[in-house]
Amino acid sequence: MWYVIIIVVLFTIVNGQSSSFITVQNGRLTLNNEDYMYIGTNFWYGVNLASKGPGGNRSRLLRELDRLHSLGVDNLRLQAGSEGPNTEPSRMVPAMQPQPGIYDEAILDGLDFLLYEMNKRKMRAVMCLNNYWQWSGGFAQYVVWAGGAKSIPYPGGSNDFDSFAARFYELPRALELFNNHIQFIVKRTNKYNNIPYAEDPTIMSWELANELSQYGNLNLTWLNHTACLIKQLAPKQLITTGSDGHSTSKNFINEHASQCIDYATIHLWVENWGIHDPHNSSVTFPLALAAAKKFIDDRAAYKDKPIVLEEFGISRDNASLSSTSPVTVRDKYYRAVLQLAHHHRIPATFWAYGGEGRPRILGASWRQGDDFIGDPPHEPQGSNAVYDTDNSTLEIIRYFASMATKKSSANTSLF
């Protein structure tokens, strides 16, 4: 029997596949008993890009994975749940789940293939299961499915969206439908390597939802119950919230207090928060850097569990959407934020990787048939995307990805 184990281990090593789970030890993310630090990217559209169906492009997917791996970006945050119908506006489509309990087999196959290819490159996945925002369906679609409303008051057309999405927590049927999705996905077995998802080290963690609350309206009882449900289904993998951490410090602590939550998350958006105006960077950019430092420093003071900065981004110079426009401000911002994260030994995941994708029309929102480039479908495409030709930004990412593997938190300000 021992020789069979040796052969399996050697096969895994030779083929470069992930064989060890990420764990938490002494308040740190660890891999093989050493700190696990990384620079990652938001690659939510990967499951659709990996599909054989509409919107899929496996040749591009493999090129993008190779580019990211060559940069040292080996942790990808994926959308492991999207809800239909596909006729709704500003959605990532085709949806994984067009109707309650009915799944698009091409999208599921895409998720299998994506994880299979990531495994071959020793990449890790954060599997985001739901979304407070409407661009993947998310909470609002579950509210409609549960009979809580006939239609969604989309952001931009109504001021009621936040309270509408939060109704998800109040509707037993909505929670039941989401629990069904959790059971379905976490119990899935990958068709490409026959590895059950819950047994696959490629999956670093399961995330309850993207930015699962606004203005402190999170249901903590639901959070604990759902996190513990996933922990029961996938005890070898980590669980996190998806919180943006932008509420009060008390709320941030409470959001991550459950014994079934393994690490905390924060999101940093100086433009969405009204601090940085890309049309007036000479005045507002220093304010943005100061706000970013304060936010990261404040959250880094939390020592109960590891922290991951899983979203940060900023526009190109003067908010240009052209892929050839300068990224002087963005480069300064990425350098400053990644330096802060490195100093505090906090893994950081930038938003978002656009790779070789390009917008159909500058300023247009995404529609089916367009390239995926990382910006959510309802936003002007190119707003925060880092393209394969943004060489200066990519070199900053490469540098800090290499620094992430070093044990020291030494100052990198000379870079």
Q: What are 154-204's pLDDT values in tens digits?
A: 876 556 888 899 999 999 999 999 999 999 999 999 999 999 999 999 999
Pair 243, 310: CB distance under 8 Å? no
Helix axes 328-343, 391-404, angle to 10 degrees: 0
Q: Cis peptide before 352, with omega less than 30 degrees from 0?
A: yes
Buried b (16+ CB within 10 A) or exposed e, 367-389: eeebbbbbbbbbebbbbbbbbbe
Q: In angstroms, rounded to a whole number, what is the distance separating the alpha carbons of residues 409 and 407?
A: 7
pLDDT tens by residue, the chain, 415 residues: 444 334 334 434 444 566 799 999 999 999 999 999 999 999 999 999 999 999 999 999 999 999 999 999 999 999 999 999 999 999 999 999 999 999 999 999 999 999 999 999 999 999 999 999 999 999 999 999 999 999 999 876 556 888 899 999 999 999 999 999 999 999 999 999 999 999 999 999 999 999 998 776 789 999 999 999 999 999 999 999 999 999 899 999 999 999 999 999 999 999 999 999 999 999 999 999 999 999 999 999 999 999 999 999 999 999 999 999 999 999 999 999 999 999 999 999 999 999 999 999 999 999 999 999 999 999 999 999 999 999 999 999 999 999 998 754 445 443 4
Q: Which of 284, 274, 362 is nearest to 320 (CA)?
A: 362
Choose the CATH number for 22-405 among 3.40.630.10, 3.20.20.80, 3.30.365.10, 1.20.1270.360: 3.20.20.80
Token pair belonging to 134: 């409407």
Q: Which residues contact 150 (CB under 8 A, 6 or more apart)?
A: 144
Pair 150, 159: CB distance under 8 Å? no
pLDDT on residue 9: 42
Looking at residue 81, its amino acid is G
pLDDT on residue 5: 39
Domain boundaries, the chain: 22-405
Q: What is the residue whose two structure tokens read 């791996």?
A: 69
What is the distance in angstroms between the CA of the first residue and the CA of the last residue of the chain?
51
Q: How does pLDDT run across 294-344, given as a tens digit for each residue?
A: 999 999 999 999 999 999 999 999 999 999 999 999 999 999 999 999 999
3-state DSSP: the chain helix, strand, coil percent, rounded to 5?
40, 15, 45
Q: Cis peptide before 196, with omega less than 30 degrees from 0?
A: no
pLDDT on residue 11: 39
Token pair belonging to 163: 């309270």
Q: Which helix (H) or strand (E) holds 392?
A: helix 391-404
pLDDT on residue 6: 40
Q: In angstroms, rounded to a whole number, what is the distance separating the alpha carbons of residues 184 and 168?
A: 19
pLDDT on residue 210: 98
pLDDT on residue 157: 52
Token pair belonging to 229: 């449900």
Q: In angstroms, rounded to a whole number, what is the distance separating the alpha carbons of residues 42 and 191?
A: 24
Helix axes 281-300, 328-343, angle to 10 degrees: 20
Token pair belonging to 55: 């919107």
What does residue 263 show for φ and ψ, rounded to 5 degrees? -150, 160
pLDDT on residue 213: 83
